[in-house]
Structure 1
Amino acid sequence: MKRLIVFIALALSFVSAFSQITLDECRELARANYPLIKRFRLVEQSRSLSVSNVSKAWLPQVSLNARASYQSEVTRLPVDIPGVEISPLPKDQYDVSVNVSQQIYDGGSVSSSKRLEDARSDVEREQVNVAIYDVYERIDQLYFGILLLDEQIRQVRLLQDDLSLSYQAISGMVRGGVANQTDLDAVKVEQVKAAQTETGLVTSRATYLKMLSTFIGKPLSGSVSLVRPAESDVSGMVNNRPELALYSAQNRLLDQQLKSLDTYLRPRLGLFLQGGYGNPALNMLKNGFEAYYKVGATLTWNFGSLYTRANDKRKIETERLNIQAEREAFLFNTGLQSELQRGNIESLRRQISQDDEIIALRENIRSKADVKVANGTETVNEMLRDINAVSEARLTKAFHEIQLLQEIYKLKNINNF
C-alpha cells in the first residue's frame, strides 16, 4: 500500500512538473535527448585514448628477433698457419636476440602529436555542436506551431460563444415572429462548422505535442500549457553561431600541423640494449653458440622532409584559405538571413498596430448587428458575416503576434543570440 502511495505521488509530481513548459526547457531537453549528443562522450574518449597512445612513445620499446639461415660461403682466413688448424664457421647460422630501445630526444614529436590530437578532437566536438544546433530550429517550429494552434482554438471557442449568444437572440426573434427557422438554421450551421474546426485543431495540436514529446524525450499530456516567450530586444545582436567556433578550431588544427613540420627537421636521440644468443655470436671467427650483448646510443637525423616542406606548407595555407572562404560565405548568408528577418519583424509590428484598429472597427459593426436584424435592416446571414469578420480579425492579430515571436526567435537562432 505504501509503495502504491509513493508511486502515485511520484506520478502526480511528474505530471505537475509538466503542467506547463517553456521553449528554453524544450530546447535543453531536446539537446540532451538527441542521439547525436552521445558523440560528445565518444569524442572525449577518443581524445583521451589517442593522447595516451602518443605518450607511450616515451616507454622503452622491446622487440624479440630470431633468425636461422644457411649460406653458400662463410668467412675463412686467407692463409694457412703451420701447426694450427682453424675450423671453418658452419654454413647454418642461428641467432636469437632481445632489443630494448629508449628514446631520449624526439625533436618535440610526441608533444606536437598530443597537440594535434587535441586540435582534431576540438574540430570533431565543434562539428557535433553544429549538427545538434539544427535541432533548435526544429523545436522552435513545433513549439510555435502549437502556440498558433492554441490561439486558433481559443479564437474558435470565442466564435462559438458569440454564435451561441446569436442563436439565443435569433430563437427569441423566431418566437416573436421577427425571424424564421431558416435564419436559426443558418446560425446552427455556423455553430457546427466552428465545432468541426475546433475538433480538427485539437487533433492537430495532439499530433504536434506528440512530435515535440518525441524530440524532448518526455511525455506531454494534452492539457500541458506552452508558455508564450516574451518579446525580446534584437538590436545589437552579434553572430555567435557554432559554425564560427568550428572554423576557429579548424584554423587551430592547421596551426598545429604547421608547427609539427618543424619536428621532422630535428634529430632523434636514443639508447639501446641488445642481448642475444647465437652461432656465431659477436666473434665471427668462433664456431659455437655464445651469449652476447650490446649497449649504445643512436642518433638519427633525416633531412628528407626538406624536399616536401615547401609543398606541405603551401598545402596547409591552401586549406586555410578554403576555411576562410567558407567562413566569409557563411557570414554573408547569415547576414542576408538576418536582414530578411529584421524586415519581417518590422513588418509584423506595423501590422499588429493596424490589427488593433481593424478589430475595434469590426467589433463596432458587430455590436449593432443584433439591433439591425431585429429592425429588419440586416439579414441573419449579414450578421453572421459580421461575427465571422470579428473572429477573423482577432485571429489575424493573434497570428501576427505569434509570428512576430517566431520571427524574433528565428533571428536569434540565425545568430545563436
Structure 2
Amino acid sequence: MKKVAFLLTIIISSAFSPIYGQLSINDCYKKAQANYPLVKQYGLIEQSKAYSLSNADKGYLPQFALSAKASYQSEVTKLPITLPNVVIKGLNKDQYQSVLEVNQSVWDGGVIQNQKKITEASSTVEKQKLDVDMYVINDRINQLFFGILLLDEQIKQNVLLQDELKRNYGQISSYVANGIANQADLDAVKVNQLNTAQRKVELEATRKAYREMLAAMIGEPIKEDTYLAKPSAAESASLSETINRPELQLFDAQNNLYETQKGMINSKNMPKLGLFVQGGYSNPGLNMLKSEFSPYYVAGARLSWNFGGLYTKKNEKKLLENSQQNIAIQKETFMFNTNLKMTQQNNEIEKMKQLMRDDDEIIRLRTNIKKSAEVKVEHGTLSVTELLREINSEDQAKQNKVLHEIQLLMSIYNYKNTTNN
C-alpha cells in the first residue's frame, strides 16, 4: 500500500512539474536582463547615491578647523604717551598663534536638503538611462527566439519534403524498370534530394548559431533538444496602444532633476546662520598689551548673505528652463517616432493575418495539383521535371504558411516591445 501511495505521489508531482528543457520567450527576457553585464551598474548607482547622501548629511555636523601661524613684523603698535616712573613694554615683533574653531550650521538656506534631493534625482536619471540601455536586449531576444522557431519549422518541413522525395524516388525507380521513365528522370529526383539535404544542413547550422547566441544572451547553455515554447494565439492577442517605454520615465526623471536644481539656486542665495566657538593659544593673546603666551576663547553667532548670486540667478533658471524645453522636445519626438513605428507594425500584423487566411487553401490546391501530376507521370503524360516543380511548389506553399505564422508572432512581439506592454 505504501508503494502504491509513493508511486501516486510521483505521478501527481510529475504531472504538475514544468516540462524539462522548455524555454519561453518571457524566460529569455528575464534571464538576459539578469545576465547582461550592464546590470551590475545598478548596484554601483545605489552605492554612489548612498555615499553622496551620507556626505550631505555630514553637513549638519559641527565643522572643525585648526590653524596656526608664526609671523614677524617690522613695527608694532606703541602707546603715544609716556608716564613718569612707568615703563610700558612694547609688543614683540615676533608673534605666534594657534586657533581651533568649531562652526555649527543653524540655517543654511536649504542647501543641504536640496543637495540630497539633487542626489536622489540624479540617481533616478542614471537608473532610467540604464533601463533604456537594458531594454534594447528584448529586441535582440525577439530576433533570436523567433529566428529559432522559424528554423525549427523549416527543418520539420525539410524532413517532410525529403520523405516525399524519397517516396517519389521509389516510384520513379519502378517507372524506369517498367520503361515509363528514364535514368535522367531518376537523376532529376536525386538532385532534388541532394539539394534538400544540403538545405537541411544549412538550416541546422544557422539554428546552431542562433541557439549559441541566445545561450550567450541568457547566460546558460541551451541543449540541442531544448524546446522553445511558441507563444499561443491567446497570449499574443491583446495589443495595447498605451506606451510604457522606459524612455518616458527617463524624460520625466531628467525634467525632475532640472526642477530640483532650481531649488538649489534659490537656496544658494538665501542667508546663512551659524554658531561658532574659537579657542586659541597665542602671543600676544586677546590682551594685546600683554606680551606673553596666553589662552583665550571667542564664541558667537555669524550671519552671512552673499548677494553676488542674485546677479546670475535669473539666467541660471532660464538655462534650466531651456534644458527642460529640450527634454520636452525630445519626448515629443520620441512619441512621434514610436507612434509611427506602431502604425507600421500594426499594418504588418494585419498583412500577415490576411496572408494566413489563404495559406491553407493554397496548400490544399497545391497538394491536389501535385497528386494529379503524380498520376499523369504514372500514365506518361507528364514529365518528371514538371512533377518535381509541383512538389517544390507544394513545399513552398507549406514554407510560406510557416513563415507567415512566425512572422505574425514576431510582428506582435515587436509591437509589444515598441509599447512595452
Fold agreement, TM-score > 0.5? yes
Contact kept in structure 2, 1:75 and 1:285, CA below 8 Å: no
The one-letter code matched in structure 2 to 1:55 is D
In the aligned structure 2, how far is the partner of 1:94 from the partner of 1:251?
54
Contact kept in structure 1, 2:118 and 2:261, CA below 8 Å: yes
3-state SS, counterpart of residue 257 of structure 1 = helix
3-state SS, counterpart of residue 368 of structure 1 = helix
- Aligned residue number for residue 129 of structure 1: 131
The one-letter code matched in structure 2 to 1:354 is D
Residue 18 of structure 1 and its aligned partner are, at CA, apart by 6.1
Contact kept in structure 1, 2:239 and 2:416, CA below 8 Å: no
Task: Verify: 1:263 aligned to 2:267, yes or no.
Answer: yes
The one-letter code matched in structure 2 to 1:368 is S
Residue 409 of structure 1 and its aligned partner are, at CA, apart by 1.0
Of 94, 101, 110, the residue aligned with 1:99 is: 101
- Aligned residue number for residue 12 of structure 2: none
Of 385, 389, 399, the residue aligned with 2:389 is: 385
Contact kept in structure 1, 2:245 and 2:419, CA below 8 Å: yes
Cα RMSD over matched residues?
1.3
- Aligned residue number for residue 305 of structure 1: 309
- Aligned residue number for residue 213 of structure 1: 215
- Aligned residue number for residue 36 of structure 1: 38
In the aligned structure 2, how far is the partner of 1:248 from the partner of 1:261?
20
- Aligned residue number for residue 13 of structure 1: none
- Aligned residue number for residue 140 of structure 2: 138
Task: Verify: 1:366 aligned to 2:370, yes or no.
Answer: yes
- Aligned residue number for residue 4 of structure 1: none
Count of residue pairs the alignment pairs up: 402
Task: Verify: 1:198 aligned to 2:205, yes or no.
Answer: no
Residue 230 of structure 1 and its aligned partner are, at CA, apart by 2.4
- Aligned residue number for residue 68 of structure 2: 66
Residue 165 of structure 1 and its aligned partner are, at CA, apart by 1.1
Deviations 1:90-147 (A, max 9, x none): 1111101111111111122211111111001000000000011111111111111111
Deviations 1:171-197 (A, max 9, x none): 222222222222222211111111111
In the aligned structure 2, how far is the partner of 1:119 from the partner of 1:229?
39
The one-letter code matched in structure 2 to 1:224 is T
Contact kept in structure 2, 1:265 and 1:305, CA below 8 Å: yes
Deviations 1:359-388 (A, max 9, x none): 111011012222111111111111111111
Of 342, 348, 357, the residue aligned with 2:352 is: 348
The one-letter code matched in structure 1 to 2:314 is A
Task: Verify: 1:56 aligned to 2:58, yes or no.
Answer: yes
3-state SS, counterpart of residue 301 of structure 2 = strand
Contact kept in structure 1, 2:62 and 2:103, CA below 8 Å: yes
3-state SS, counterpart of residue 208 of structure 1 = helix
Deviations 1:265-306 (A, max 9, x none): 322111111111111111111101111111111111222221
3-state SS, counterpart of residue 237 of structure 2 = coil
Task: Verify: 1:287 aligned to 2:291, yes or no.
Answer: yes
Identity %: 47
Pairwise mapping of residues 395-414 of structure 1 onto structure 2 (< 5 A)?
395-414=399-418
In the aligned structure 1, how far is the partner of 2:322 from the partner of 2:19?
54
Task: Verify: 1:25 aligned to 2:64, yes or no.
Answer: no
In the aligned structure 1, how far is the partner of 2:336 from the partner of 2:280?
68
TM superposition score normalised by structure 1: 0.94
Contact kept in structure 2, 1:18 and 1:220, CA below 8 Å: no
In the aligned structure 2, how far is the partner of 1:208 from the partner of 1:414?
23
In the aligned structure 2, how far is the partner of 1:88 from the partner of 1:230?
101
Residue 235 of structure 1 and its aligned partner are, at CA, apart by 4.2
3-state SS, counterpart of residue 224 of structure 2 = coil
Task: Extract unaligned runs of 5+ from structure 2.
Answer: 1-17
